Structures are given as structure tokens and as C-alpha cells.
Amino acid sequence: MKEQECFYGTQPFKVRSFIQPCQFIFHDDQVSFSQDRKKVLYATSFLIGRAAKWIEPYFSNLSNQDANYLLNSWSLFEYQLFTLFGDPNEVRKAEEDLDSLTYISEFRIFVSIIGNWGEKALIHHFRE
């Protein structure tokens, strides 16, 4: 398993690629990460820059055992990370990408039926 990368909080598209490896590690070592607090503290150790500045004030209250406190809830931590540092248009962009994917799939089907039209002609029709 590759090492966890740091998260700076400056590139919205990297939130998901920061969270996923954490989840793999938690799944792979369920004994060490049996509590949400351990998961959150592990993940926060990889926050740098803006993301570290955001989480820093929470460390002044490490003794807080409330289940709804950010450091004690993986789901709350994950939600806040996506809300503060993620792409607010992620769903809309995925929908647009899905539309493009559907078009590309249909285009490839037609190209396979048509045969050899030549690359320039195909590129022209694809862009239309």
C-alpha cells in the first residue's frame, strides 16, 4: 500500500484522493482504527498549509469526548473537509462528464460501423 500523501487544502479535486487512501488504511487495519477519533487524528497528521490552519484550533480541546465534536467523528471530519476544501460543483461536473462519456461511447459505436473514414474526418465530426 502506498504512503498517505499530505493534503494542503488548495486544490479541490484532491480532497477525494486524500480521503480514499485513508479509508483503505482504516479498512486494512481495523484494530488500530477501531474508533473514529483515531481515524481523524491519523488523517489530520497529513494536513498541511490551509488545511492544517483549519484543524489547528480543534487541537486546543483534545479532551472533548462529545461524539459530535469534529475530532471524534470521521463522518463529520470528512463532510467538513469536502465542504471547506472540495469542489462545490463536483456533482454538476460529473453529470456533464457523464453526458460527454455517453456521447463518446455513441461516437465510437458509429465509427466502428462506418469503418475507415480517415482520422481528420472523424476528428471533425467528433468536435461537432
C-alpha–C-alpha distance, residues 8 and 50, integer Å: 6
Residues 51-67 as b or e (16 or more Cβ within 10 Å = b): bbebbeebeeeeeeeee
pLDDT at 101: 67
Q: Beta partners for 47?
A: 7
**pLDDT tens for each residue of the chain, 128 residues long:** 678 899 999 999 999 999 999 999 999 999 999 999 999 999 999 999 999 999 999 999 999 999 889 999 999 999 999 999 998 888 788 778 777 767 777 777 777 777 777 776 677 667 77
C-alpha–C-alpha distance, residues 81 and 35, integer Å: 19
pLDDT at 1: 66
C-alpha–C-alpha distance, residues 55 and 59, integer Å: 7
For the four alpha carbons of 68, 72, 74 and 80, in that order, the dihedral sign comes to positive
pLDDT at 79: 95
C-alpha–C-alpha distance, residues 74 and 27, integer Å: 13
User: Structural domain boundaries of the chain?
Assistant: 12-85, 90-127
pLDDT at 94: 77
pLDDT at 109: 78
C-alpha–C-alpha distance, residues 4 and 29, integer Å: 14
pLDDT at 66: 93
